[in-house]
Amino acid sequence: MTAPPYPMIRLRPKANARAIRHGAPWIFDNEIVTDRRTRALPPGSIAVLEDEARAPLGLVAVNPASRIMARVLDRDAGARIDGAWIAARLARAHEMRARLFDAPFYRLVHAEADGLPGVVIDRFGEIAVIQPNAAWAEVLLPEIGQAVQEVTGVTCVLKNASGRARVLEGLDEGSAVLAGQAPDAPVPVPMNGATYMADLTGGQKTGIFYDQRPNHAFAARLADGARVLDVFSHVGGFALAALAGGAARALAVDGSAPALDLARAGAERTGVAARFEARRGDAFAVMEALAGEGAQFDLVICDPPAFAPTKQALDKGLRAYERVARLAAGLVVPGGYLGLCSCSHAADLGRFRTACTRGIGRAGREGALIHTGFAGPDHPQHPNLAESGYLKALFYRL
């Protein structure tokens, strides 16, 4: 097979070619010979990556404007990155999800771990929402959208361009309809016996967070007959799963009025509206107010945004997680349960667990760690990319 006419980029002599051969998916700008020709490559270009001795390591997507200057696409330097290549990667990802889930509501592609670097695709029945978070995916977005339709049979494909990752790649924030017609109302999403309402055009990220599905299910097993507090609830994540699992009552707390409106709509759809309550406000302030009111709950879960999205924010983020644990622990009845979550990849499991346990102690409480949860299997981890294992959920009995 004749190699396609891709340009060549080369590793610096001190770069770790062995790590790349062993599966490292990213090459940073200080690892690449950045001569004038390389810097002139348009963002999203495909290139052959060579080691110091000019031996090919594979095909990479190049973005001279990004700190992650190259992302490995294929270990075969003779491959051709086109619609057929994309469709083959999508088919492999789709086959696994079809085995795992009874209904077509899941993360279809989880970036590097599914062989499509920087690409996130969530499926909502007949609708797919793509986040092209790398420049190469932006360039080949028409091919990605077409392949999604061919592989899955969806009739509507949306582009969501929000998020910090696109900013770091130098990409715009312009969302679009790539195929079909965008829904004019929130889309119902069945999970764990509850129905969530996802705003696919105006909500956070792609509209809903599928990653917490197994942790929602675990919390629901603790919730039978319980009074439940779901802090940072977004569209009702833990609260609705708990109510579907038999909770006596659930209070959802979030700072976003639109998110809580969707949570209320989900409670109606699930048939648990009479046992559901929402309270809008700053999570820390609401927890302090609930403590002042003498409120107590059998199960408290906190699922905050990423307090430590970068290494630079780690210390501040860990202090925030400790504070969440301290305030939440004080609201749990003796013998009750506390769930604490983090989606910060910079805060690894050990550091996060230490911060949570310290916060529980500062509240004058103690407890056993009964379960550690992670993202579901539709969010696979790339074994050479710690960032792909971002989600942690710790459950304590106090």
User: Which residues does the annotation mark as catalytic?
Assistant: 343
Residues in contact with 99: Cβ distance below 8 Å, sequence separation at least 6, in sequence order: none
CA of residue 95 relative to chain centroid, distance:
20
CA dihedral 356, 358, 359, 364 (to 10 degrees): 130
Question: Concatenated DSSP letters for 115-157?
Answer: T-TTEEEEEETTEEEEEE-SHHHHHTHHHHHHHHHHHH--SEE
SS3 7: coil
45, two tokens: 């270009």
Helix, strand and coil percent figures for the chain, each rounded to 5: 35, 25, 35
Please tell me the distance from the alpha carbon of residue 102 to that of residue 81, in angstroms, as a whole number. 32
Measured at the CA of 96, the angle between CA 90 and CA 100, to 5 degrees, comes to: 140
Radius of gyration of the chain (CA): 22
Strands across the sheet containing 56-62: 8-10, 45-50, 56-62, 68-74, 26-28
Tell me which residue of 6, 21, 4, 5 sits closest to 55, measured CA to CA: 21
SS3 201: coil
Question: Concatenated DSSP letters for 36-92?
Answer: HHHHTSPTTEEEEEE-TT--EEEEEEE-TTSSEEEEEEES-TT---SHHHHHHHHHH
SS3 169: coil
> In which region does residue 218 sit, left (phi positive, over 0), alpha (psi from -120 to 50) or beta (all else)?
alpha
Tell me which residue of 163, 134, 161, 129 sits closest to 145, measured CA to CA: 129
SS3 273: helix
